[in-house]
Amino acid sequence: MDHLSDENLLQKIAQQDSAALELLYDRHAQTVFNLIGRIVRDMAIADELLQETFWQVWQQADRYRGEGSAAAWMYRIARNKSLDQLRRQKARPQPLETGSEADDQAVWDQLPADNAEVEPVVEQRRDSNAVRQALQEIPSEQRQCLELAYFEGMSQRQIAEHTATPLGTVKTRIKMGMEKMERFLRAEGYRTEDFY
């Protein structure tokens, strides 16, 4: 089953194949948890939302219609749940200890002895590095707008107010930032389907 694409795994999950869900979890749980943790910044809530995301994948795999990659579909579920939670939170809790080199190393320390299970984690690290590299190439003002929109759920108007920037400038930065990121990844030899 390791050779199956994410999309094929979703088809199997729609037929109640739990092994397919387990494999999909192994491939993407780390990315999903990173995403959720970045948005809600609370370990307990992130844990719950991780469960809810994959539970929704299990329950609604038959709703995936193949428009876009399966991973993008899952990440959208995780992001929507996280942003809904963020909007409900009255005050930010203590931040997760995220993004440190120690945490990156902790993930490596969790690698199982069985080499067959190593590859999903290695692939996820490579993809994260590639995207982070792409973001570093983008001017900081454009990158800030993308991160505020993606991780904070802000609208362009809210970003403009938050950064004291004209709305037209924010719109341009988002458009150009996304175009730059996609162009950079293609120039590095990545195709979007390579990610998933």
Partner 1 sequence: MNSELSREQILDMLPAFALGALEPEEMLLVEDYLEQNSDLLPELHLAEEAVAQLAHAAPMTPLPADAKARLMSRVEADRRPAPAPPVAAAETVGAGWLDTVRAWFTPLNGWTVVAGAAAAILVIVLLSTGQLQSRLDRLTDEVADLQTMVSELQTANSQLQQTNQVLEQRLQTDQARLTFIANTSPQQTFQVPATANSPTANANGTLYVGNDNDALLLLQGLEPLAADQTYELWVARAGDTIPTSAGLIDLQPDNNDWFLVSLPLTSQDVNVVGLSIEPAGGSPGPGPSGPIVLHTR
Q: Rounded to whole angstroms, how far apart are CA atoms 122 and 110?
A: 12
Q: Is 185 near partner 1 (CB under 8 A)?
A: yes
| Overall size of the chain counted in residues | 196
> Is-contact 169 131, C-beta < 8 A?
no
**Residue 91 DSSP label:** S
Instruction: Kindly tell me which of 151 and 169 has the beta carbon lying closer to partner 1.
Output: 151
Interacting residues with partner 1 between 37 and 56 (CB under 8 A):
37-38, 43, 46-47, 50-51, 54-55
Amino acid at 115: N
Q: Rounded to whole angstroms, how far apart are CA atoms 36 and 71?
A: 14
Q: Rounded to whole angstroms, how far apart are CA atoms 90 and 70?
A: 33
Q: Is 86 near partner 1 (CB under 8 A)?
A: no
> In this chain, which of 9, 23, 61, 159 binds partner 1, going by CB under 8 A?
159
Instruction: Kindly tell me which of 10 and 154 has the beta carbon lying closer to partner 1.
Output: 154
Stretch that binds partner 1, among 2-10, 77-85, 112-120 (CB under 8 A): 77-85
Query: How large is the angle between the packed helices 43-60 and 70-88, nearest 10 degrees?
Result: 140
> In this chain, which of 99, 112, 166, 168 binds partner 1, going by CB under 8 A?
99
Q: Rounded to whole angstroms, how far apart are CA atoms 154 and 139?
A: 19
> In this chain, which of 88, 94, 116, 189 binds partner 1, going by CB under 8 A?
88
Interacting residues with partner 1 between 103 and 142 (CB under 8 A):
103-104, 106-107, 110, 124, 127-128, 130-132, 134-135
Q: Is 23 near partner 1 (CB under 8 A)?
A: no
Q: Is 163 near partner 1 (CB under 8 A)?
A: no
